[in-house]
């Protein structure tokens, strides 16, 4: 009979692997604005909506509606992406 010894690293890997397949919703907020419904209905193709953020200002990254990071918009080939520049530490409750 062979006894197997599970190290703390093995236990951590096993417990972490259990969450790998859980889907999460990632939301990247470039900025926000408020407008009246009448203004919204007047928008058409090519309309520009002014946001509350300035060019180069960090954008907010949410996971399941919780702010987790800030980042910058990047262009990779013909796609837009996000580079995380700051991880937001969660507050313990």
Tens of pLDDT along the chain (93 residues)? 444 545 556 666 667 788 888 999 999 999 999 999 999 999 999 999 999 999 889 999 999 999 999 999 999 999 999 999 999 987 665
pTM: 0.69
Q: How far apart are CA 83 and CA 63, in angstroms?
A: 15
> What is the secondary structure of the chain as a DSSP string?
-------HHHHHHHHHHTTTT----EEEE-------HHHHHH--TT-----SSPTTPPEEEEETTEEEEEEEEEEETTEEEEEEEEEPPPPP-
Domains of the chain: 19-87 (2.30.330.10)
């Amino acid at each position: 009979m062979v006894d197997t010894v599970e190290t703390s690293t093995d236990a951590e890997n096993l417990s972490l692997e259990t969450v790998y397949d859980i889907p999460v919703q990632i939301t990247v907020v470039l900025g926000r604005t408020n407008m009246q419904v009448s203004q919204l209905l007047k928008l058409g193709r090519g309309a520009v909506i002014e946001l509350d953020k300035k060019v180069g200002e960090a954008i907010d990254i949410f996971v399941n509606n919780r702010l987790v990071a800030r980042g910058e918009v990047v262009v990779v080939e013909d796609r837009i992406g996000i580079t995380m520049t700051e991880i937001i530490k969660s507050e313990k409750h």
